[in-house]
Amino acid sequence: MKVLRIASLLAAPVGALLSHSAFAVNPEAPASFVENYRIESQYGAGEAVLNPIFSHEQRVELSGGATYQATSSLVNYGTATGSLTYHINARHAVEPVYFGHVFGGRFTKFLKDEIVNNPDANNAASATVEMPKLLYAASYLFSPFYAKMHITEQTVTHFDVYFGLGVGVVKTEDQILGGGTGNSQTRPAASLAAGIRFLFPNHFALRAELRDFVYTSKNFGQNGTGNNFQLGLAASVFLF
């Protein structure tokens, strides 16, 4: 009995020592923060915890929609839009084609009340303001995160947020306050965008976006910086 008791007392520390030695010989080194960031910044999280509804990587996204510009004190208008986007991976994309055709342009109530219909405004009838007619941009898009949320107990919505920076052109036309149109101009522009993309089965999506074209415009004979700030909604389909 004594021999068995001594053997059992020695077995525990010996077993612990052997297991510690085995762990020390083949440790599982954690990945470095820098390596994790390098991978996740390009391809997203390494663990498939989000279960994306479908992959963006190396896919072409075709979009069509409409925007409305309501922030200018001079003119308001809508725009029919279309775009083509190539998704390099989950984070990065290029949008080589974004175009818009302006429709329904009109003077704002402020401009009509304060100048057009103001008898005290000098030379109001011959004054001009620029109305955008065509928009074009090529941009880089970055998506900082992809997420999903419950709408109901049985429904989950997948979405991602993106930001865009690009260059483009804006074609404008002079609108004479007294009636009629004047010269047209083509202006270089910078394009800034921020949006959210809701994803649905079968590779469809719905995009809500804020986009601003920043360019030089001439109103009332004075040059200044114009902002074509638009709120838009578009439907998308992912190909290939």
- pLDDT tens-place string over residues 100-129: 999 998 888 888 887 777 766 666 777 889
Token pair for residue 141? 């898009």
Ramachandran angles phi, psi of 82, nearest 5°:
-150, 150
Q: Which domains does the chain have, with CATH numbers?
A: 33-239 (2.40.160.20)
What H or E segment, with its residue span, contains residue 146?
Answer: strand 128-152
What are the pLDDT digits (tens) for 75-95? 999 999 999 999 999 899 999
**What distance lies between CA 178 and its chain's CA centroid?**
39
- Which residues in 57-93 are b (16+ Cβ under 10 Å) and which e? eebebebebebebeebebbbbbbebebebbbebbbbb
Minimum mean pLDDT among 32-46, 93-107, 203-217: which range?
A: 32-46
- Distances from the Cα of 44 to the Cα of 41, 142, 207, angstroms: 6, 12, 21
